[in-house]
Chains A and B, each alone.
Chain A
């Protein structure tokens, strides 16, 4: 089973995030970059499937030079090879353009299964996974918390509000991950050493046959008008009380008198 995992490098959401002078982007100088947390689930699931069925795990990323670190992390976790689409002309692409680029890159990579995070925690666009499946013309399942592969088919438990939907489709399939799918492994020290020697291909848009004038910041279908920081987190208030009844009463009091929500 050959699996491709779509991985994105994103700013750590706990890192110091500051809006840049242009008002539509963030300052990137002192940011800590990490693997998108939903992609960690994707890498872990891919490794588990490969280890149970043989085959390979390929990491596919679109990003800048820095993104090499994130691919290396995935390789250190145990993936076999990495492909980075690294082209200044691709920077600032919207979800659809990213999907188009990844789909073009996938033409050269054999796969039975593609796994992606449900969304990148930076733009929160929720589009790339679904759009890649559309470009490839393959079935997709989203927000998967459990999967099972047998007889060339994959059964997925997809989470919906308050429950799950169980879907089934013949491979190749693309599915996106939801929290709860697994507990991603740590990159081990020997894994990190081995990762340095694993193949990591870098490609430009020309290499994968994409016309630069159809992607990138200038060709976004949706433009960002403004970024606003979230409201400051307020201090937590601990509810005091001995018994459950006392605690409940104290909570109601606070909700009623201070928060004014009940």
Chain B
């Protein structure tokens, strides 16, 4: 531990204010109260308020919520639509085919449509009322280990008030060492602290590589007269266009309250086409006749992007170590087959809470007691769902029609499919080198029209995400070798970071033949696609000064 930082001891620390940890914190307080335990519990969240960095679909399976807050409706849980009535399509460029047989896992009976940002804000209030210390605006930037790195002691928060050069400003505020008997990591997909724990304690070793998908999402306000607002359908899912059968991905459109809809496009980050620009694919998706008909006349209120962890079962890390537990998307618990991770995240947080109570009862915070959590996860619906979906992402990575054969076989066999334990390739290694024809296409982009209302360019999108960072701070995106950018990466891939980043953080400046990577870290939407997809693994994402980043409120 660094010597000059103050220590603040807690009993339990939750890192990340997403549904996993907030459900965990509420459940922990409820259980502690029942048992007469007095616990000092804290949640740190890098967003400026709870919900500011929450972006999801989202169709909520209320299974865990019902257990946590049985009277959630009466308690004012913010629900956009109580019922999901689905349509499921295969899109071609100008047409669509209704999928006649919707697999069971795509049914959303009994589920609700929510805005995750509103939902986590509500969970945060419940937690605060239950006595949890909520600390928004604080990023965990360093894991504190015991001397031989066999256990986690807590997390240090980042310094604030440091300038671009790394010098202290007049309002410098040093980070704090938050120590706890148990630290719960719920950083969502691609957590920056769990990465370090992976390296130091090997929790991911022996597992298949973590893989991800990235989504761009908008909340659009429709004219009140829009027929979709009064129609029967509340949910439209699609696959196919704007992707072919080579790239996995799909679109979603959900009806919300107050004449709004949530619209998003998800792309598997194992895509191969170096020229692919997810933001452009999203714009194309918005122009598909089915979608355009719904959103016509609308206005984009908010835009954002986020990744989701897609690997599931075979990529799950070890869930407990001495002094720490891993929950939600950080532990690969999203069910990619259902495109749902909120319910599994919440349940995992709650199971973590139960094991933490056991640890306090036994006064033993080592993996001996904490691994009870692993057993509980194994016995819960989380594992049942993840096992059934264990080969799903792999099947969709297959090209052409063979993906349907695999998906179909898995459906019939309860997840086993044609081969079980289908291998997973790391997202950073799937890009194919650009052909001269592709380069040519990149150099002659098709013109796109933006009206500033319904169709907006990337930078307007960043503006609509409310993203704000302290400008005078060290760059939070670490590019390890700039020579790669100007050389090899340009030559083979034409710098895909300039395309896959939905916030236009990366630009290549070309002055008289010398190329240089230019970074606009203030635009960063915290989606972390860059760290995942860069073909040279040349980018590391770290937390910027706490409070910085998007200001989502309805996503």
Contacts and interface: CB of A to CB of B under 8 A. Distances in A.
A245 interface: no
Nearest to A233: B463
Contact of B171 (A32, A184, A190, A233): A184
B460 A186 contact: no
A189 B457 contact: no
Contacts of A30: 117-118, 553-554
Contacts of B118: 30
A185 B169 CA distance: 10
Contacts, number: 61
Contact of B138 (A12, A32, A189): A189
Nearest to B552: A16
Report which residue of B157, B171, B511, B512 has the largest number of chain A beta carbons within 10 angstroms of its beta carbon: B171
A186 B160 contact: yes
Contacts of B457: 235
B466 A16 contact: yes
A15 B138 contact: no
Given A30-B118, A235-B459, A242 B511 contact: yes
A257 interface: no
Nearest to A185: B171
Contact of A15 (B8, B157, B173, B551): B551
B281 interface: no
Contacts of B511: 242
B422 interface: no
Nearest to A196: B133
A190 B173 contact: no
B176 interface: yes
A186 B463 contact: no
Interface in B440-497: 452, 457, 459-460, 463, 466, 468
Q: How big is chain A's contact interface, by range?
A: 20 to 34
B393 to A, nearest CB: 33
Nearest to A12: B551
Contacts of B138: 189
A155 B138 CA distance: 38
A190 B551 contact: no
A14 B551 contact: yes
Contact of B49 (A18, A32, A185): A32
A183 B169 contact: yes
B466 A190 contact: no
A244 B265 CA distance: 44
A31 B553 contact: yes
Interface in B384-434: none
Contacts of B160: 186
B293 to A, nearest CB: 25
A64 interface: no
B48 interface: yes
Contact of A188 (B52, B176, B302, B553): B176
Nearest to A191: B173
Contacts of A182: 170
Main secondary structure on A side of the interface with B: loop
Contacts of A187: 137
B55 to A, nearest CB: 14
Interface residues of B, number: 34
Contacts of B137: 187
Contact of B553 (A16, A189, A193, A235): A16
B176 A15 contact: no
Contact of A183 (B6, B48, B170, B466): B170
A192 interface: yes
Contacts of A15: 466, 551, 553
Contact of B551 (A18, A32, A233): A32
Interface in A162-211: 182-190, 192-193, 196
A232 B452 contact: yes
B178 interface: yes
A188 B133 contact: no
A225 to B, nearest CB: 24
Interface string A58-88: 0000000000000000000000000000000
Contact of A185 (B173, B551, B553): B173
Contacts of A184: 171
Nearest to B171: A183
A193 B135 CA distance: 10
Interface in A28-53: 30-32
B133 A193 contact: yes
Contacts of B209: none
B469 to A, nearest CB: 11
Contacts of B62: none
A233 B452 CA distance: 10
B151 interface: no
A233 B160 CA distance: 30
A189 B176 contact: yes
Interface string B44-62: 0000110010000000000
Contacts of B551: 12, 14-16, 32
Nearest to A232: B452
Contacts of A236: 459
Contacts of A196: 133
Nearest to B177: A189
A188 B173 contact: yes
A134 B189 CA distance: 56
Which of B161, B173, B302, B554 has the most chain A CB atoms closer than 10 A to its own CB?
A: B173
Contact of A189 (B135, B301, B302, B512): B135
Interface string B535-555: 000000000000000010110
Interface string A1-42: 000000000001011101000000000001110000000000
B304 to A, nearest CB: 12
B171 A235 contact: no
A151 to B, nearest CB: 27
A193 B8 contact: yes
10 contacts: A14-B551, A16-B551, A16-B554, A30-B553, A32-B48, A32-B551, A32-B553, A189-B8, A235-B460, A236-B459
Given A14-B466, A16-B554, A232-B452, 12 more contacts: A15-B553, A16-B302, A32-B48, A184-B171, A187-B137, A188-B176, A189-B8, A189-B157, A193-B133, A235-B459, A235-B460, A242-B511
